Chain A
Amino acid sequence: MNKFLRTLLPADIAKGLSVTGKHFRQVFFTANRRKVPFHIVSEYPEVPAKVQPRFRGRLTMLKDEQGVIKCVCCLACEKICPTQVITIEKGKQEGRKMPYPVRYDFEMERCIFCEFCVESCGFDAIILNHQFELAAYNREDFSLGTEGLGQNMFEPSHVGKFSVADD
C-alpha cells in the first residue's frame, strides 16, 4: 500500500526537477547573467579563452636581447622528443662563437605538446607558448621552422585568431 502511494506521488521526479529548477532560476531570471557564479559557459570565439600560465601550446624559439636566436644546437631537444618532430642542422654564423641552427624544423602535426623539449633545453631557448588554435588549411602550414616561406616559428598560426599569443 505504502509502495503504491509512493508510485502515485512522483516525489523522486520532483526532487530531480527541483535541481534543474534551481539552476534555471539562478541563470534565466537574473538580469545580469554573467554575474551568476554557476554560469560556466564562456563566449569563446568572441571573448578570448583564458589559459593557465603553464599551458602547453605551440613550440616557439626565443631570441635574446639582440634579437639573435638563443639556441646553440646542443640537440638535446631533438633527442628527447618522443615523436621525433624536431630536426636541427648545425651551422656557423659570423661573429658568434656558439653554433647556430641553420635549420630548425618543427613539424607541428606530429607534436604531442609534452614539453619534454623545453625541459631538456639547458639554454632556455625554446618554450611552448599559449596558442592552442593550431588548425591550418594545408599540410605545409604545420611545418614550422626558422627558414623558408611560410615557415616562421615566430608568427602565430594562420587560422588561430582568437587565442592569446604571449611569449
Chain B
Amino acid sequence: MFKNEEMEINLGPQHPSTHGVLRVKLRLDGETVTHCRPMIGYLHRGVEKICENQSFFQGQVWTDRMDYCSAVANNLGWAEANEKLLGITVPRRAQYIRTLLNEFNRIASHLIWLGTHAMDIGALTVFLYAFREREDVLDINEAFCGSRLTTTAFRIGGLREDLPPGFEKMVRKFLAKFSDCLEEYEALLTENRIWKKRTIGVARLSAEDAIALGVTGPMLRAAGVAYDIRKAFPYAAYAEMDFEIPTRTEADTYARYQVRMAEMRQSARIIQQCMDGMPEGPVMAKLPKILRSEVNEVYHATESPKGEIGYYLVGEKGSLNPYRFHVRAPGFINLQSLPKMAEGGLIADVVAAIGSLDIVLGEIDR
C-alpha cells in the first residue's frame, strides 16, 4: 500500500532563503536529502564578455554588479588587477583609503549575511539590528563616492577624489558604537538555544573537502585553515596592518557564524589603524591619457568578504581593452560544496547550509 519512493523537489529559484535565483534540485527520502544539485544561470548577463568589449576604465561598473553586497571589494580587485596589467603604482594614501573602505565593505557584507542567515533559520530580530548598522556603512559609502550599493569607488591608479570633509567624524562615530552593536547581536544569537540547535553540527564541511573543492573565505577558516589572502599575499595597505585571522575547527554553521563575527571585530580594528595612520599625499597616480596594457597576462586575487575573488586579465601589449577577462568568483566555487554539506542531512538544514555559504547570485551567474 505504501510506496517507498524518493521524491524530487525544487528549492527555488524563487525561494526567499536561496538569496536570489538559485534553484536547488533535491531528492528526498522522507525528510533526508539523498541528492542535491544546485542549478545556476538564471542571472547570467555575460559580464566577462561585456568587459572584453569595453575599455579598462569602463569595466569597473560591471564588477559592482557582480557581488552587489560587496561592491567595494570587487572594485578593489578589479582596480588592482588592472594596475598590475597597466604597470601603475598607486600612492600610499590611496592604498590606505582603499583598505579602509574595503573593510567597511566587509562589515556591511557580513551584516547582510548575519541578518539574512539568521532570518532564514528563524531569528528575525537580528535582521533589524544588523541592517541598522549596515545603514551607517552605506552612508559612509555614499559620503565617499556618492553611491550606496553599486559604488564604483576606485579608479585605476588611485581614487577619484580624496576623503570628503567630515568623513573622519563619521568613521569614528561608527567605530565608537560598533563593538557594542556586535555585542548586541551576540547577545541575541550566541547563547540562544534555538540558534545553537539549528547551527551546531549542521552542514559540516571538513578542511580536506573544503580545500579539495577550492572553498575559500570564512567557510575555509571555519574548518581550521588559517588562509587569508590579506595575510598570505598582502595587497593594498594590508601589509602594514595588524590583525588576526580568526579560525574555528568545528567546520559547522555555528563555527562560520563565529568566524564572521570575529572578522567584523578585526575589520573594525583595521579601520581604526587606517584612520590613525592615514598618510598625507596625493590619491591619484600619474596616468597616461589612454590606458594601454603593458604586460600580457595577470591574475590578481584579493580577499572579498566571501572568499578569494580573482581577476584574470589577458591584454595584448598596447591593447585598449582586455582580450580575455575572467572572474574567479568566490560564491561560484563555494557553492560547489553545497551537495557535500546537504546530502545526508535534513531538508531544513539545506537552508542553513545555503545561508552559511553567503552566496550572492549576481556573482555566481555573472
Contact = CB atoms under 8 A, between A and B. Distances in A.
Interface of A: 7, 10-13, 15-16, 18-20, 38, 40, 51-56, 80, 82, 112-116, 119, 128
B257 to A, nearest CB: 15
A55 B151 CA distance: 11
B144 A54 contact: yes
B208 interface: no
A82 B58 contact: yes
Contact of B147 (A18, A19, A56): A56
Interface of B: 54, 57-58, 61-62, 125, 129, 132, 135, 139, 142-147, 150, 152, 160-161, 164, 184, 187-189, 191-193
Contact of A13 (B61, B143, B145, B193): B193
A116 B58 CA distance: 8
A82 B54 contact: yes
Nearest to B129: A19
A25 B61 CA distance: 44
Contacts of A20: 125, 188
19 contacts: A12-B191, A12-B193, A13-B192, A16-B187, A16-B188, A16-B189, A19-B187, A38-B132, A40-B132, A51-B142, A52-B139, A54-B143, A55-B142, A56-B146, A82-B61, A114-B61, A114-B150, A119-B160, A128-B146
Please provide the 4 A-B residue pairs with the shortest distance between their CB atoms, ordered closest to farther: A12-B191, A56-B146, A54-B146, A82-B58
Contacts of B193: 7, 10, 12-13
Given A80-B57, A116-B57, A16 B147 contact: no
A153 to B, nearest CB: 19
A19 B184 contact: yes
Contacts of B62: 82
Nearest to A18: B187
A54 B150 contact: no
B152 A16 contact: no
Contacts of B192: 12-13, 16
A113 B145 CA distance: 11
B343 to A, nearest CB: 31
B187 A52 contact: no
A55 B150 CA distance: 12
Contacts of B142: 51-52, 54-55
Contacts of A80: 57-58
B136 to A, nearest CB: 9
Contacts of A115: 146, 152, 160
Contacts of A15: 187-188, 191
A19 B164 contact: no
Given A51-B142, A54-B144, A112 B184 contact: no
Contacts of B145: 54, 56
Contacts of A56: 145-147
B61 A112 contact: yes
Contacts of B143: 52-54
B61 A54 contact: no
Nearest to A82: B58
Contacts of B189: 16
B164 A53 contact: yes
A48 to B, nearest CB: 16
Nearest to A37: B177
Contacts of A38: 132
A151 B146 CA distance: 25
Nearest to B144: A54
A112 B150 contact: yes
A132 B246 CA distance: 40
A20 B276 CA distance: 34
B146 A55 contact: yes
Contacts of A128: 146
Contacts of A52: 139, 142-143, 146, 164
A51 B164 CA distance: 14
A52 B142 CA distance: 6
A7 B143 CA distance: 48
A77 to B, nearest CB: 12
Nearest to B147: A56
Nearest to B142: A52
